[in-house]
Amino acid sequence: MQDRNMDKALEIFSALITGDEISARNKDTASLYDEYSNNAEVYDIVYSMCKKMNLMLYEYKNTIYVSPGDNNRVFGYSNEELKRIIGVRLNRELYLCYFVIYSVMTRFYSDTSNPTFTEYVKCDDIVNAVDSMLADTLKSINLLNLDEIEDNSFQAISATWEDLPLVISEEGMSRASRGSKTGFVKMVFNFMEKQSLLVENEGRYYPSQRMRALIENYYEENKGRLYEIMKGVSEDAAY
């Protein structure tokens, strides 16, 4: 192993874990992207370090990204940390946040065989999407072969959502809060903005390149149980 290749790999890894963009389009990091793409030893070292650190390594449109793997306590967040960062207090509220995030994802990308081309979403789009997806889930719940924990979780998420008014007041329509459906969605949007996943412009929320990379790789590699359940819901609703 050449010392130079190790140094370049460490430089790339360091940039990735501190949130820098390594892209062929970025003049400051184009040379690092070239090393990653065209130097097999550098690529292998970066990949190995990410794997050992439980980081998922993604490449999307000539840009490299990393995302924490499951239960990554160093680079990821615990549930308690997420609750504090987003601004919720209860586990069922956090699970509702996850559901809202999933609803945002499906607006931009359904699956690899059926990509969508939505340019942006607005708050009321996601409020309506969550309304519809939870209603379909509850109607289909007896057909989904859920275990008791999953059943109870969806019931709790739905109850938490349905207990919220659409808005608290006209004055509070633009405010992020736990007190209304609109405020709750805005609170999740704020979190996603801070994570460089969404970009807001006059009430319209556009997916960042990082968001698109994570979404596409999610559907390719890590669909998970929620995807399986919601796919079952959509197939049942189609009939």
**CB-CB neighbours of 62 under 10 Å:** 13
- C-beta separation of 20 from 47 below 8 A: no
Residues 103, 11 share a domain: no
Q: Which long-range contacts (CB under 8 A, 24 or more apart) does 108-114 make?
A: 108/207, 108/211, 108/212, 108/215, 109/212, 109/215, 109/216, 109/219, 111/219, 111/231, 112/216, 112/219, 112/220
Residues 83, 140 share a domain: yes
Residues 87, 58 share a domain: no
In tens, the pLDDT along 50-87 reads 999 999 888 888 999 988 887 777 777 888 999 999 99
3-state DSSP assignment of residue 117: coil
Residues 88, 12 share a domain: no
Tokens of 192: 């996603």
Q: Is residue 171 part of a domain?
A: yes
Q: Is residue 19 part of a domain?
A: yes
Residues 33, 149 share a domain: no
| pLDDT exceeds cutoff 60 at 1 | no
Residues 10, 44 share a domain: yes
- C-beta separation of 136 from 144 below 8 A: no
Out of 68, 90, 113, a domain closes at 68
- C-beta separation of 207 from 191 below 8 A: no
In tens, the pLDDT along 114-137 reads 555 688 999 999 999 999 988 887
Report which DSSP code applies to 114.
S
Residues 197, 84 share a domain: yes
77 vs 231: CA distance, rounded Å: 27
Residues 127, 26 share a domain: no
pTM over 0.85: no
Query: Helices 224-238 and 148-162 meet at what angle, rounded to 10?
Result: 70
Out of 46, 68, 90, a domain closes at 68
| pLDDT exceeds cutoff 80 at 93 | yes
Look up the CATH number of the domain holding residue 21: 1.10.10
- Whose tokens are 């309304």? That residue is 131
Residues 120, 11 share a domain: no
Burial of 117 (0-12, 13-18, 19+ CB in 10 A): exposed
Tokens of 181: 């459906």
Cα–Cα nearest to 131, from 169, 161, 155: 161
61 vs 186: CA distance, rounded Å: 29
Residues 195, 105 share a domain: yes
Q: Is residue 73 part of a domain?
A: no
Q: Is residue 74 part of a domain?
A: no
Residues 106, 35 share a domain: no
In tens, the pLDDT along 149-192 reads 676 778 889 899 999 998 866 545 567 888 899 999 999 999 99
Chain centroid, CA 115 distance in Å: 16
Domain ranges, residue 169: 79-238
Cα–Cα nearest to 161, from 225, 236, 88: 88
Report which DSSP code applies to 208.
P
Residues 200, 92 share a domain: yes
3-state DSSP assignment of residue 111: coil
217 vs 116: CA distance, rounded Å: 15
Q: Is residue 83 part of a domain?
A: yes
Out of 68, 98, 120, a domain closes at 68
CA distances from 77 to 15, 38, 146, 195 (A): 20, 33, 27, 12
Highest-confidence segment of 13-27, 97-111, 209-223: 13-27
